[in-house]
Amino acid sequence: MAASYFKESLEYQYANNEALNYLILVYSELLPNVKNQSEAKQIIFKFIQMTQSKRYKNPEVALGTALFFRNSGKIRTALMMLENYLRLSKPTLRVMATYLDLLIDVGDLESSRSLVEKVDNVAKKPLDLIISLARFHNLNEDRAKAEETLKEGLKFYPNSVEILLLLSDYLWNGGNFVKYKSVLQAIDQLGSEGSPFFYSKYLEQMGMLSVYNKDNKTAAVLFAKALQIRESDRLRSKLAELQVGGSKLEEGLILESKMIDLIDKASNAESKLNWDLAFKYAIEAADMSETYIPAKLYLSSLQIKRGYFESAIETLVRLRKQYPTNIKVNYNLINAYIESFKLNEADKEILIIKNMPEINESKEFASLLGRYYLKSGNILNAVKWLQESLRRDPLNDEDYALLAATYLKYRKYDQAKYQLTKAIELDPRNLNYLTSYSKILFELDGADVAIGYLRKYLEDFPDEPKLLGEIAIYNYKNGQIKEFEQIKKEVEQLNRKDPNFYSFLVSASILEENVDQVIAYSKKLVEVEPGNLEAKITLGNFLLKQKKYDEALAAYFTVTQRLSAYPQISYLIGKVYLQTGQADKALEYAKLEIQRNPALYNGYYLAGETFRRKEQYPDAVKMLEKAISIDGKAVEALLSLADIKFRQNYLDAAREMAMRSVRLEPNNPQIRRLLGLIYVKIGQGSLAQDELNTYLKLDPGAPDRAQIERTLNNIKR
């Protein structure tokens, strides 16, 4: 009713009309009741964009914006919005209540407790505050106090269906089924306040009461009716339990609250990077029921984040057997295949769900195809489907960011900037988005602009290693070495057990060419983030540079344990075997790399280089030419083939390939060495001197220094 009046007011007068502020608030409050969520969110977000200047000044705009993001699943963004408002403006009780709700959502018990102490003594509490206080006591594991708060709230708000629904949860979990039934009757008499969301919750609770009364047929009808109003994985799981039936059905419904509690605890532990505890709670929740979708999906997401791809796929395959047409289950399974580079399996699954209209017309399906094509290197189709995903759901910040990253990779800075701006509007807390945007600014406007952009965000994220690290790197690239060293020192003093902290120190050490520190910090990064396979690859690569072959192999094999199909891992393992003189093992891994990644040059190069060292030149040339046909800029393949041509006395061909290589990597000492020897052989002494002297400068510890110096002396004669 209120929304229609505010809307009508705006139709009469739009400019400077306070009704817009209230319309944002009311629409955001009503969002859970709307059937077409995507359309409603787009309308509200347009209004939010129009009132950006009021976001931290006007309580209705601040509250409406926070509720919009909360109801869209972006809890931390909503929390940041209200934190910024509270820093700049006077709080209202409703703002405080929502702020408390958000702190509870993220599991921040200490901040919640501090806020409760400020608002608990208010005589006439608004409804929102009563709900928030009850949720706080629940988070604090004082269920009796939570129930008491709700009963106290009913004295002031006897017709509040929201309080009655929350109270019914406590009564069900406490086994007070007589009172539970009377509360549901009260909700029915109130007509669920005309709210579709409340009505669907009421139907769900009535279904549970039917289960208690051993009337499974009625329960199934009620659950199905609730699902017609509000799609819910929890409800789907209950319906599945119902279909399985049996004596443990009622017990399974009672266990649901325990599973929800365990998932919340796991999520809280994850936010604090306590991965062992997060896994403990997640596995406990998942083990309680084979059909409870939220627990299985959360466990699989945790497994993927930690690099346990095979386990995640097993979890999702089992779940999909229970729910063959569920969009979320299919999406997560196919995405797990994509993330684990099992593109053939992903392709098979995509072909299956293509024939399901309820899935292939969904926003999730378009997004999935975009990611699939991106991973398989089909950029045109990736862009096409990501754009289609955003047409279906213009509020998908992750796909805006993916599209931006694709444009950025191909130096289409204006398109990347536009897409990333959209992503940041939707998730202004995402540090990856902010640092990616700074990279665009660096390319377009230089280091100072990029640094200035990131510094303003340090107010919201003080001492954040990711932001400080990017600033330091821009200083380094800009020749401001003192500033770089100062920030690096500041970050080191933070001494956090945080992936961003160690990621920066690894990057900084690479810039400084400090191999020992790269290895030390990479080991620390892998400790705090064992699922970071790229960090393990970096560690292995730098151990290989130091000729610590056993350690390099150990690092690479930890990757294969998590993800056997990781691109180029067989190639890297093969390189270690090649450098340790184990040609047969190197060839074995070269063939494995070709089998797994036939569209990449690496396996062909490794096979060719192995044949070269075995002096099997025809086989070597065949493989190296194949590698170069795939990637004409593959320097190691060009250099290897140039060496063969040199040995076979095809000097023009050898020089041409060496010249191509030196243009690509002018500071590669081995290219300079080979080019110098080619010039010696064709009698161009001056050019030979230049190249061989450059080789010795680039590699002061060259093992053949004495021999090269003799060659240089011979040229001078």
Length of the chain: 717
The pLDDT value given to residue 249: 60
List, for residues 322-357, the tens digit of each pLDDT value. 898 888 999 999 999 999 888 889 999 999 888 888
Q: How far is the first Cα of the chain from the last one, in angstroms, to the nearest whole number?
A: 100
The residue written with tokens 């536009």 in the block is: 418
The two tokens of residue 482 are: 């003192």
Mean pLDDT, range 561-588, rounded to an integer: 92
List, for residues 500-532, the tens digit of each pLDDT value. 888 989 999 998 889 999 999 999 999 888 888
Q: Which of 463, 437, 462 is CA-nearest to residue 451?
A: 437
The two tokens of residue 582 are: 């184990």
The two tokens of residue 601 are: 């040059």
CB distance 370 to 385 below 8 Å = yes
The pLDDT value given to residue 144: 92
The two tokens of residue 690 are: 């230049």
Residues 6+ apart with CB under 8 A from 21: 51, 54, 58, 60, 61, 64
Question: Please, what CATH class does the domain formed by 231-357 belong to?
Answer: mainly alpha
* DSSP letter (8 states) at residue 602: H
pTM of the predicted model over 0.85: no
The pLDDT value given to residue 429: 86
The pLDDT value given to residue 248: 57
Handedness of CA 432, 437, 442, 443 (dihedral sign): positive
In this prediction, residue 132 has a pLDDT band, given cuts at 50, 70 and 90, of very high
In this prediction, residue 687 has a pLDDT band, given cuts at 50, 70 and 90, of very high
Q: Coil, strand or helix: which one is 460?
A: coil
In this prediction, residue 7 has a pLDDT band, given cuts at 50, 70 and 90, of low
Q: Which of 351, 336, 331, 344 is CA-nearest to residue 303?
A: 336
Q: Which of 398, 443, 400 is CA-nearest to residue 418?
A: 400
CB distance 42 to 29 below 8 Å = no
List, for residues 40-72, the tens digit of each pLDDT value. 888 898 888 888 888 889 999 999 999 999 999
CA–CA separation, 148 and 137 (whole Å): 10
In this prediction, residue 250 has a pLDDT band, given cuts at 50, 70 and 90, of low
List, for residues 201-236, the tens digit of each pLDDT value. 999 999 999 988 988 889 889 988 998 898 888 888
List, for residues 362-371, the tens digit of each pLDDT value. 889 999 999 9
The two tokens of residue 395 are: 């509020």
Mean pLDDT, range 539-547, rounded to an integer: 93
The pLDDT value given to residue 244: 58
The pLDDT value given to residue 231: 82
The two tokens of residue 708 are: 């090269």
Instruction: Name the helix (H) or strand (E) containing 627.
Output: helix 617-630
Q: Which of 588, 516, 511, 509 is CA-nearest to residue 551?
A: 516
The pLDDT value given to residue 362: 87
The pLDDT value given to residue 704: 92
Q: Which of 130, 54, 50 is CA-nearest to residue 85?
A: 54
CA–CA separation, 253 and 212 (whole Å): 10
Identity at 658, one-letter amino acid code: A
Alpha helices in 51-176 (DSSP H): 59-71, 75-88, 93-105, 109-119, 127-139, 143-156, 161-173
CATH architecture of the domain covering 362-423 = Alpha Horseshoe (1.25)
The pLDDT value given to residue 240: 73
Classify residue 118 by burial, with Cβ atoms within 10 Å: 0-12, 13-18, 19+. Answer: exposed
* DSSP letter (8 states) at residue 31: G
List, for residues 702-714, the tens digit of each pLDDT value. 899 999 999 999 8
Q: How many CB atoms lie within 10 A of CB 489?
A: 10
CB distance 563 to 309 below 8 Å = yes
The residue written with tokens 């309820």 in the block is: 358
CA–CA separation, 632 and 152 (whole Å): 75
The pLDDT value given to residue 245: 57
Give a three-class secondary structure readout of 88-122: HCCCCHHHHHHHHHHHHHCCCHHHHHHHHHHHCCC
Classify residue 114 by burial, with Cβ atoms within 10 Å: 0-12, 13-18, 19+. Answer: exposed
Q: Coil, strand or helix: which one is 646?
A: helix
Q: Is the pLDDT of residue 4 over 70?
A: no
The two tokens of residue 31 are: 């969002």
List, for residues 167-195, the tens digit of each pLDDT value. 999 999 888 999 999 999 999 999 999 99
In this prediction, residue 691 has a pLDDT band, given cuts at 50, 70 and 90, of very high
**Mean pLDDT of the residues in the chain:** 90
CA–CA separation, 130 and 147 (whole Å): 11
Domain with CATH 1.25.40.10 in the chain: 231-357, 362-423
Report phi then psi at 160, rounded to 5: -85, 110
Percentage of the chain lying above the pLDDT 70 cut:
96
The pLDDT value given to residue 2: 60
Q: Kindly report the CA angle at 408 between 402 and 412, in degrees rounded to 5? A: 120
CB distance 388 to 38 below 8 Å = no
Find the largest Cα–Cα distance for the chain.
109
Q: Is the pLDDT of residue 468 over 80?
A: yes
The two tokens of residue 398 are: 């992750």
Q: Which residue has the higher pLDDT, 253 or 425?
A: 425
Q: Kindly report the CA angle at 547 between 542 and 551, in degrees rounded to 5? A: 70
